Chain A
């Protein structure tokens, strides 16, 4: 059975360009999380959705970042315009809320480099 799927796996872009990261959660899961991982700041939660609705976006760095979840099987994280300090690994994770202890399953990540 497929896990969380993220695309692209690697992205190199120039400062000022728009970047779109994509995530397909595990089928049946109703919560989706976007994280950013850097050496300096570790693993940070950017935003999470429950039943396609954004619940907490307090971790989104600034207005350049936006996330959507148009349906239960797809989410995007967009950066516009991108800056070199956005270079990081971005992870998507999903879970089923309603079980005894919700466990988050992570995708392989998107490695973003902004030049």
Chain B
């Protein structure tokens, strides 16, 4: 079945550091890929998405590229801010299904 594996947290960075959170997936066909972010005490919000190979999703300085050859969708940001502190979830939606399959989440803390 479909599954998502993302790097274990927590991740602690200083402000303006470079961020990478790894995400790899297993799926049949051509899934759509997502990154969601959850700020403390809130629900999940869509951060970015990509629907086909080599697509790059981007939002708020975050980027992720759909790599079919490595089945990956790593999240990157060049310079993190304290306000980026949150839990980040990688997810996929398999072809023909409405169900999202989530990774376990990676907690990011950015210190000033």
Contacts and interface: CB of A to CB of B under 8 A. Distances in A.
Partners in one complex: yes
A33 B45 CA distance: 15
Given A42-B104, A101-B32, A101-B49, A50 B98 contact: yes
A108 interface: yes
A65 interface: no
Given A102-B93, A103-B49, A55 B43 contact: no
B34 to A, nearest CB: 8
B46 A103 contact: yes
Q: Chain A interface: which size bin?
A: 20 to 34
A45 B100 contact: yes
Interface string A44-69: 01001010000110000000000000
B98 A95 contact: yes
B51 interface: yes
Given A48-B99, A55-B98, A105 B46 contact: yes
A115 interface: no
A13 interface: no
A25 interface: no
Interface string A18-44: 000000000000010100000000110
28 contacts: A4-B43, A31-B98, A42-B102, A43-B44, A43-B89, A43-B102, A43-B105, A45-B100, A48-B98, A48-B99, A50-B98, A56-B99, A91-B44, A93-B43, A93-B44, A95-B98, A97-B98, A101-B32, A102-B93, A102-B98, A103-B46, A103-B49, A104-B46, A105-B46, A106-B44, A106-B45, A108-B43, A109-B42
